[in-house]
Amino acid sequence: MLTRFILFAMAVIILTFTACKKENEENLINKQGGPAACDTSDMKYAANVLPILQNNCYSCHGNGVVTAGVSLDGYANVKQKVDANLLINVITHAPGYPAMPYGLPQLSACDINKIKAWVNTGAPDN
């Protein structure tokens, strides 16, 4: 009886640690190449990057709001953060940089990859 209980307990423990991995739905879809796969080709500031910033950053750093001396109003301000290597580091939660958006979850991998793709093409004003 005790042996059966120990085997049962060991099986539950093993299954608990091997059966489930926490991954969000977006990552699962993207790994499978499903309809929500992230397209990072031909990223444009106005069409792709600006909406991400407006939805995730403007409550603290846009529309005239300047928090911690940072404004992302307008392309020139965003480009300044790109050129100083700040934008990518804060949104990827790189060590030594404040994690943004502050107090909220990290941007989706797709949104980060879209911004990175735009930056890698020189962060044009398009």
Tokens (6 digits) for 21: 């991995």
Q: Say yes or no: 53 and 105 in one domain.
A: yes
Per the structure, the count of domains in the chain is: 2
pLDDT at 82: 97
* Reported confidence tier of residue 2, pLDDT bands at 50, 70, 90: low
Mean pLDDT for all residues in the chain: 84
Rounding to the nearest 10 degrees, give the CA dihedral for residues 38, 44, 49, 55: -90
Q: What percent of the chain has pLDDT over 90?
A: 71
Q: Say yes or no: 2 and 64 in one domain.
A: no
Q: Say yes or no: 32 and 50 in one domain.
A: no
Range of the domain at 96: 39-126
Q: Say yes or no: 9 and 59 in one domain.
A: no
pLDDT digits (tens, 9 = 90+) for 22-70: 444 444 444 545 556 899 999 999 999 999 999 999 999 999 999 999 9
Q: Say yes or no: 83 and 117 in one domain.
A: yes
